[in-house]
Structure 1
Amino acid sequence: MEKLLLLHGALGCHTNFNELKTALSEHYDVYCLDFYGHGSEAFSTEPFKIEGFSEQVFNWLEENNLDAVSIFGYSMGGYVALHLAAKHPEKVKRIFTLATKFDWNEASAEKETKLLDPDKIEAKVPMFANELSERHGEHLWKNVLRKTAEMMLALGQQKALSEEDLSQIEIPVLVSVGDRDPMVSLEETASVRKQLKNAALLVLPNTVHPLEKIPVARLVFECRQFFG
């Protein structure tokens, strides 16, 4: 069967894909991993960087003797997948990105990092704080938030993927976005589709940003349509 790797988003980990992985396993050999500093890989002194996560995926593929895989990348995971394809094209067959933010600049980075204050989250959204604590560890989840904020601010200064990088990716890519996503715009997603050589655009109706709010059956359908 086709080998399919699922890459999680910022603040996430592989357990975000539990239901989707189970459903997709009927049709694909499905793999997941945690980016360093997240979930089971929670402790790390390294700064969070798209380039670092991309190299981690490359090394993971090498260690697991996987020549090439297709990738479903949610949010940040889609950005990492495209970076991997730009730097190590032999390792990636197809990429399906969902809710991936591409338009990083100082203003967008500042807007997003305002939502990542651990003390405010703990005070105003305790259920989310508890979820992050269970996901990354009681003493580490705040560190994950801070490092993610630092990464976003760095992306606001310099994107990890240039237009030239995107234009060199030749594999089939499906970039998708929800029509009600407050973080990722249709315009930025469509712009990246135009920069890629072999890409299509999918707009999911009545869909917001969080992965858990998207029906698993719909994601499975779209994956099967694209990956075959």
Structure 2
Amino acid sequence: MSNIQTITMPKWGLSMQEGKVNGWLKQVGDAVEQGQEIVEVESEKIAGAVEAAATGVLRRQLANEEDVLPVGGLLGVIADASVSDADIDAFVADFLSNFKPADGEEEDQGPTTQKIEVNGHKLRYLKRGEGGEAMLLIHGFGGDLNNWLFNHEALATDREVYALDLPGHGESTKDVGEGNLAALADTVAAFLDAVGVASAHLVGHSMGGAVSLTVALRHPAKVRSLSLIGSAGLGSEINTGYIQGFVSAANRNALKPLLADLFADSSLVTRQLVDDLLKYKRLEGVGEALATLSDNLFADGHQSSVMADQLGELGKPVLVIWGEEDRIIPVAHAHAVSGKVQVEVLGNRGHMVQMEAANDVNRAIARFVG
């Protein structure tokens, strides 16, 4: 019965214990291709689609819309049309009788975040995967390593992949020093030294893209390639209303409409996402850190560092990924560099394209660094 494939509730992020079914994208009897999105589910933090692990026919849906299942729980079954209903029923019965949800106490089996001292400051990071050419994921302004919930594990199947909280963000030091790209880039280079990585593929989102570019310019030996997602540093325009609003927002009503601008589909802004960001913004030192970065990087309504003209001088492979509906940094910046580097623009996606089109982004990066 090895040609029967399960569709199970995924685990997105370290704390996810269960997920809710939002709706099926395929119906029983539909042919499905490996990699096709077949069911939408959501955790408390984010919603996303589960892909088919195999090509075949969707033979069973074992969870309905609004059902809540533990991580690993059986959502559905894919098999060839030639497999009998009796065999599938037996397979499902066997799965359900042997399935035990992971106990929250067993979380120590998986990776956990760690802290490391870099230049006298603590930085939080998460490492997944082993071996291969190392990769480092660098989040954007006001983000943290959880911005890579849908990407980290997928990218770590054949290599070690680190995600860190930049200074001023997440659970890292709130001291941003000079608060410019050079200071952030030097911290990233020192972080790679501290974890024993000589050079890495850098994947940067938004401000993290500008940081990645700056690392490549200041510490070229540390960088194997650049994947820049909705990146700062490639043009002068930026939605400064969003930046200033994010810096000053002090409550849910101020924050929620701003976060809607991050996604093409604003329904992805969950209550938990707003609450997590409010909690972060109330930490001591965060207000000063964000204001310092904003004043340095996005003064007078423009990006202060534009490095598009230096892409050709890097001597590194560069991939640029953008959501066509990006309301924070215009997609025009991607089109402007398309002659110089590889560019992928994804339709109906916004600034958080690595969340909204995670499977497409993961495949593009894996192909590029592969």
TM over 0.5: yes
| Matched residue, 1:219 | 361
Distance 1:215 1:133 in 2: 25
Residue 204 of structure 2 contacts residue 227 of structure 2 at CA under 8 Å; is this kept in 1? yes
Tell me by how many angstroms 1:16 deviates: 1.8
Q: Which has the higher contact order (CA 8 A, sep 6+)?
A: 1
Unmatched tracts of structure 1, length 5 or more: none
Tell me by how many angstroms 1:109 deviates: 6.5
Q: Which of the numbers 321, 324, 327 marks the counterpart of 1:179?
A: 324
Q: What is the DSSP-based 3-state SS (H/G/I as helix, E as strand, rest coil) of the residue aligned with 1:39? A: coil
Q: Which of the numbers 215, 218, 221 marks the counterpart of 1:90?
A: 221
| Matched residue, 2:143 | 12
> Aligned pair in 2 of structure 1 residues 129, 53: CA closer, same or farther (>3 Å)?
same
Say whether 1:132 aligns with 2:301.
Answer: no
1:89-110 per-position Cα deviation (integer Å, ceiling 9, x unaligned): 11111111111133226xx474
> Aligned pair in 2 of structure 1 residues 203, 82: CA closer, same or farther (>3 Å)?
same
> Aligned pair in 2 of structure 1 residues 121, 167: CA closer, same or farther (>3 Å)?
farther
| Matched residue, 1:57 | 188
Q: Which of the numbers 319, 336, 340 marks the counterpart of 1:191?
A: 336
| Matched residue, 2:243 | 113
Task: Give the stretch that moved more between structures: 150-159 or 50-59.
Answer: 150-159
1:116-154 per-position Cα deviation (integer Å, ceiling 9, x unaligned): 242465443365653213346544443444234323334
Tell me by how many angstroms 1:41 deviates: 1.0
Residue 39 of structure 1 contacts residue 137 of structure 1 at CA under 8 Å; is this kept in 2? no
Give the structure with higher Rg (CA).
2
1:49-106 per-position Cα deviation (integer Å, ceiling 9, x unaligned): 111110101111122221111011111111111111111111111111111133226x
Tell me the TM-score normalised to structure 2 length.
Answer: 0.54
Q: What count of residue pairs does the alignment treat as equivalent? A: 223
Unmatched tracts of structure 2, length 5 or more: 1-131, 257-270
| Matched residue, 2:164 | 33
Q: Which of the numbers 217, 222, 235 marks the counterpart of 1:103?
A: 235
Q: What is the DSSP-based 3-state SS (H/G/I as helix, E as strand, rest coil) of the residue aligned with 1:176? A: strand
Say whether 1:73 aligns with 2:204.
Answer: yes
Higher helix residue share: 1
> Aligned pair in 2 of structure 1 residues 16, 33: CA closer, same or farther (>3 Å)?
same
Name the amino acid aligned to 1:130: D
Q: State the superposition RMSD in angstroms.
A: 2.7
Tell me the TM-score normalised to structure 1 length.
Answer: 0.83
| Matched residue, 2:314 | 169
Distance 1:135 1:211 in 2: 22
| Matched residue, 2:98 | none
Task: Give the stretch that moved more between structures: 147-156 or 64-73.
Answer: 147-156
Give the % identical residues. Answer: 22
Name the amino acid aligned to 1:171: K
Higher strand residue share: 2
Q: Which of the numbers 340, 352, 356 marks the counterpart of 1:210?
A: 352
1:23-59 per-position Cα deviation (integer Å, ceiling 9, x unaligned): 2221221111111111111421624211111010111
Distance 1:191 1:144 in 2: 31
> Aligned pair in 2 of structure 1 residues 45, 220: CA closer, same or farther (>3 Å)?
closer
Task: Give the stretch that moved more between structures: 50-59 or 204-213.
Answer: 204-213
Residue 42 of structure 1 contacts residue 136 of structure 1 at CA under 8 Å; is this kept in 2? no
Distance 2:329 2:247 in 1: 20
Q: What is the DSSP-based 3-state SS (H/G/I as helix, E as strand, rest coil) of the residue aligned with 1:208? A: coil
Distance 1:137 1:10 in 2: 16
Residue 298 of structure 2 contacts residue 304 of structure 2 at CA under 8 Å; is this kept in 1? no
Say whether 1:44 aligns with 2:186.
Answer: no
